[in-house]
Structure 1
Amino acid sequence: MSRLLPAVVFALGLLFAAPPAFAQAQTRAYAPENLRTLSVADQTRVIRLEYAEQSGGRTIPADQLRFYLDQVNRSNWGFSRIKADIAQSLGGNGGTRPPVGGQTIVCESKSNDARRCVPPWRGPSRLVRQLSNSPCVENSTWNSQDRLITVWKGCRGEFAPGTNAQTIRCESKGNDAKRCTPPWRGPSRLVQQLSSSPCVEGRTWNSQDGLITVWKGCRAEFAPRGLGGGNSGNYSVTCGSVGNRYTTCAWNGRYGRPALIQQLSNATCREGISWGYSGNQIWVNNGCRGRFGVR
C-alpha cells in the first residue's frame, strides 16, 4: 500500500491541476459565434474586447463599432466575420488595401455583403472607376467617411481621395477646446462630422477670420464658407428628420453635391448614415436636422 501512495498523490495532483487550464481556455472564448444570442450591451463589450486585443489596447472608433453592431443585427455577421474584418481594418491587406496605381485603392463587396476598406489618405473618397457588373452608386451601394470606404450589394470599384482638397481637420480631444488655423482667410464651414459627439455651430464649434475652434468632443473636416464661386455660396437648404423618420428635401442639382454647413439637431448628422444626397434630393434620417449648402 505504501508503494501505491505516491502514484495516487501524483494522479490526484493532475486531476486538480486540470480545471484552471480548462477554465482559462473557456475565459479566452469570450463570445459565441452567433452574437445575436447576446444583448446589445454584451455585443458591444465583446467587439470592443476583440478590437483592443488585435490593436494592442486601442479603443475601437465609434463609427466602426456601430457598423459592426448593424452587421450583427441586420446581416447576421458571426463573431469570426467580425474578427476577420477587424484584422483587415487594422492593416491586413485582404486584397483591398494595396493601391492599384498612384493614389487609388480597390474596395470590393463579395456575395453582396458589406465590406469596409481603409484608404491610405485622410478625408472622404470618390469613385474613380467601377469594376463590377453591379452598379456602384454613392449612398446606394457605397459611401465614404474620413479614412473609410464602405461598399455593399456587389459593388467593386477603384477609389481615390475626394476632390475637395481645401479642407482642414480640427478635433477636440477629451472635451477640451482646440483652436485650428486654416490655410484660407474668412469664415469656415463644416464639411463632414467625424465624431460621435455632435458638431453644432455656435454650440460645439465656431469660426472667425483665420481661426476655427472646436470643443465638447467635436471632430470634423472644415472648408472655406461659400466655396464654389459666384453667388452659389448663398444657396442652402434646411432639411430635418421629424420623429426620427426618413425625410427628403429638394436640392437644385446645378449647384453640384450639397455639404452639411450647420447641424441644427442634437442627433448626429453624418453623411451616408443619417443624411445623404440622391437624385437632386437631400435625405435625412434618425433625427438629423441641418442646413445644407454648396461644397
Structure 2
Amino acid sequence: MIRLVIALFLASLSLTAAAQSRPPVSERAYAPENIGSLPVSDQIRVIEKEYREQSRGRQIPDDQLDFYLDQIKFSRWTFSKIKNDIAVSLRGNSNGNWNPPPGGNWNPGNVICSSKDHRYNECRTPFRGRARLVENISDTRCVEGRNWGSRQGLVWVDDGCRGRFVDSGNGWGGSGGNWNNGQTFRCESEGGRYRECRKPYSGGNTVLVRQLSSNRCTEGYSWGEKRDIVWVSNGCRGEFRLQGGNNGSGGNWNNGYTVTCSSYNGALRTCAWDRNRGEPRLIERLAGRCSERVDWGYDGRGLWVKNSCSARFGAR
C-alpha cells in the first residue's frame, strides 16, 4: 500500500513537471494560414508573439512589422511564409536589425512608430511633410502634441503611443506663417532637469512653436534663451525656431519681431518692447484668457500682462 502511494505521488510530480515545461498556450502564436482573414489588430498581435518566441523575447522592429502587414494586404502572404521569413531574418542576426528580402520592390508610403516601454522614440519617415495618424495600434490613445508629433523627415512617439503614420499632404507651410522650411529644433528637460540646447544659427529671437510635454512651457519660467542657446527646465519639452538671424544662407529666415510675455501666478508683469516697432498685437495665446486691456495691454509701462496670461506678441 505504501509503495502504491509513493508511486502515485511520483507520477503526479512527473505530470506536473511536464506541464510546467510546456509553454502556456496563451503565449503561443497561432493564426489561420490565411492570416489576412484576421483583423489588423489580431495580425499584429500574432506576428509580435511569433517574433518574441523565435527571438527569445525581443520586440519586432517597427519597419519589419510594417513590411509584413503590407505583404499580407497586397501580396497575400500566409502565416507560414511570415514565420519562415522571421526565422531567416533572425539567423545570424543578434542585434535586431532587419532588411527587406532581396528582389522585392517594397517602398512604403507610411511608417509605424512605437513608444517601447512608454519611452520616447523617433522614427524616420519616407515623406517630408507633416505626418497624419491613420491607425492607432497601441492600447494607449495617440494624441498629437501630447504623445506624438512630427517634423520634416521624422515622427516622434512617447508614453506608449504606437501608430501608423502617413503624409498629411499639408507640408510645413500653410497659412499660419513661415515655418522656416521645417528647420525647427527641439530642446527637452528630462526628469525636470535644467538643460541647454545650442541654436542652429546665430542671432534672432526664439519662439516656441509646439509644446511636446504635459508640463507647461512658459517663457522665463520653464524655458528661455541667452546668446546662442535655448534653455529648458521643470519638464518642459518643446520645438523651437528662430525669427531673424543669419541661417548661413546669406539672409534672414523671418524678419518678424515678436516678444513672448507671461504672467506668473496671476501677477502683473511688464516685458521689454521696441517702441520703434509701433504698438504690439497678440499673435498667439499660450495660456490664460489674454483679453486686450483686461489681461494684457501696452501703455507708458510698456507691454504688460496679468491674470496668468501668457502670449506671443508682434508688431501691428
TM-score (normalizing by structure 1)? 0.40
Structure with greater Cα Rg: 2
TM-score (normalizing by structure 2)? 0.38
| Higher relative contact order (Cα pairs below 8 Å, separated by 6+ residues) | 1
